[in-house]
Amino acid sequence: MAEKTFQFPTYFKLLLIIITTLGKIVTAEEISAVENISDKLRNDTESLWKVSRDFGNIVHEVPAMVFHPASVDDIANLIKSSYSSPVPFAIAARGQGHSTGGQAMARDGVVVDMAALRRERKKKGVGGISIDVYGEYVDVGGEQLWIDVLNETVENGVAPISWTDYLYLSVGGTLSNAGISGQSFRYGPQISNVLEMDVVTGTDVFVKWIRLLYSDFSAFTRDQERLISIKALDYLEGNLLMHQGPINNWRSSFFPLSDHLRIATLITKHKILYCLELSKYYYHHQSQENVNKEIEELLEGMGNIPGFYYEKHVSYVEFLNRVRSGELWLQSQGLWEVPHPWLNLFIPKSQIMQFNSGVFRGIIFKRNITTGPVLVYPMNRSK
């Protein structure tokens, strides 16, 4: 009988559920109040005992409850309940409990039994393991066991290339600790062979969105370059404000109406203003006071015009989708079906001052040709 050979996909995709929050002792009443998950909580002695020790059998931590999720949404709802609490309670994901130092435990918190999710998916006929039709990757739930991944892939003539010596472990469990074995010298640890990872966090992300005004282009570019060099922000852009265009344009209504006259007066005085736009992302449970302090320290010593500082706090989705609302408004006014010429230019740092004087002031302003946005923002050459 001829020996069967297998193809070896370089990567696998993964639905990995990583849950780690630290905080207060949780009560049964607090967790049971969370919608649609109260029937999945256990606090009987046997359930608690099973998750209060691991393979190392050195650390023993008893949780307040054990959570048996039936779906990823259940886990997200649990985490959201923690973040909505005044002080987040501890949550830990437990696969096969093969850790050696209590990593899958949550003292006085909630342990998520990932095996329950695996059983629920199997009962519903959703195995949590699917192979790409071309055999290039396998899509795996973090709660799945490596032995099942092996059996499923081998049946299809393919297999991952990096393993652990023991296969009755959860995919999420070994990847959280790299996943090392005798194949690692050649293919790297298991985590190095992950193509894509979906992480369930349950948190809501918000954006502190700021605009500053400049009359000095050199100060404007200097501050932009400094801000991208320290890598403390999540977004940084800039644009020109001139008489030719509205103070608030279709891309974003940001400046308060009460300040339009002040800004217009400033434009009249300086001909062109340069607007620096920056954003910092933060999670729901993070203190806005801390975020504000971080931004305040970041902007100390900036060369913007004093007294012209504007900020908003918006959701992550609202910020990223900010241009769409303007587009829909233009469509509703019948103003969208017009030519949309657009030009992107990369200007070297050594020529940016000449570009400002020759193009922004010497052509665009003098010829009054701008009716759309003029954006200016720096790029790191390495990116």
Q: Mention every residue, 6+ apart, whose C-beta is less than 8 A from residue 28.
A: 41, 43, 64, 65
What is the three-class DSSP state of 192?
helix
Q: Are 261 and 247 in contact (CB under 8 A)?
A: no
For 138, phi then psi, to 5°, come to: -120, 135
* Sequence-separated contacts (24+) of 325-328 with Cβ below 8 Å: 326/249, 326/250, 326/251, 326/252, 326/253, 327/250
Annotated catalytic residue: which of 3, 165, 296, 337?
165
User: Within 13 Å of residue 247, how many CA atoms lie on the same side as its CB?
Assistant: 17
Q: Are 169 and 146 in contact (CB under 8 A)?
A: yes
User: What distance lies between CA 179 and its chain's CA centroid?
Assistant: 24
DSSP code of 143? Answer: T
Please name the helix (run of DSSP H) or strand (run of DSSP E) that holds residue 48, with its range, or none: helix 45-50
Which of 61, 68, 74, 98 is labelled catalytic?
Answer: 98
- Decide if 216 is catalytic: no
165 is catalytic: yes
Name the catalytic one among 234, 237, 259, 311.
237
Tokens of 56: 């190392």
Told to judge if 327 belongs to the known catalytic residues of this protein, a careful annotator would answer no
Q: Chain centroid to CA 240: how far?
A: 30
Q: Which residues of 216-248 are buried (b: 16+ CB within 10 A; e: fewer)?
A: ebebbbebbeebbeeeebeebbbbbbbebbebe
> In this structure, which amino acid lies at residue 130?
S
- Checking phi first, is residue 212 left (phi over 0); if not, alpha (psi -120 to 50) or beta? beta
Q: Which residues are catalytic?
A: 98, 165, 237
